Structure 1
């Protein structure tokens, strides 16, 4: 079983920053970047779990929920990756860190 701790740490760090960000920062793009990240993580998890089905799009639930959406999508992906190749995990961790850097640049 693959250790997905690095992904969970990266996702939780990004989600916590989103949860604690002021509304003005969220409105300037951090929330949009967080939602894009959550949607991508959800898409990746769905592709692993149901490769023959078109992934559902995670809805936009608002500025103040994006941190929670990111955390849930990240943990869903971590569970899906437990049986996937480690390269997919490394790519996901790198992608989350890049998204966080863009959100809080």
Structure 2
């Protein structure tokens, strides 16, 4: 499904960008933007995978791991959003990734 691969590609590009930023840029807000997106992706994945359970909140493990957290959360969402009715969620995720990428650049 192209929308799934497009989302993964966009998440990986942004995660790579976050991994390559200097610490001062991460601390100036790029890491917070990435963590906010990672937490949203992770929450949505958990809601699909474990309906009825309150999702855990992805921890803030520091500015240097936010790229990895984002990549993981994006892959988790794509892995669980497999039904056709999840297309709207994937489209929203792509839009959020695009907004975060613009904010980070």
Question: So what's the TM-score if we normalise by structure 1?
Answer: 0.92
Deviations 1:54-99 (A, max 9, x none): 1100001111000000000000001011225212211111111112
Q: Does the CA contact (< 8 Å) of 1:12 and 1:71 recur in 2?
A: yes
Q: Compared with structure 1, are the counterparts of its residues 9 and 34 closer, same or farther at alpha carbon in structure 2 (3 Å cutoff)?
A: same
- Which is further off, 37-46 or 90-99? 90-99
CA distance in 2 between counterparts of 1:84 and 1:98 reads 24
Q: Distance in 2 between matches of 1:11 and 1:2?
A: 14
Give, in whole Å, the separation in 2 of the partners of 1:3 and 1:28. 31
Aligned positions, number = 104
Gaps of 5+ in 2: none
- 1:34–1:99 contact (8 Å) kept in structure 2: yes
Distance 2:2 2:24 in 1: 38
Q: Distance in 2 between matches of 1:45 and 1:10?
A: 17
Between the aligned partners of 2:3 and 2:102, the Cα distance in structure 1 is: 24
Unpaired runs of 5+ residues, structure 1, are none
Distance 1:63 1:47, change over 3 A: same
Q: Post-superposition, which runs of at least 4 consecutive aligned residues in structure 1 deviate over 2 A?
A: none
Indicate how the Cα distance of structure 1 residues 53 and 11 shifts in structure 2: closer, same or farther if over 3 A, else same: same
Range moving further from structure 2, 25-34 or 85-94: 85-94
TM-score, L = length of structure 2? 0.92
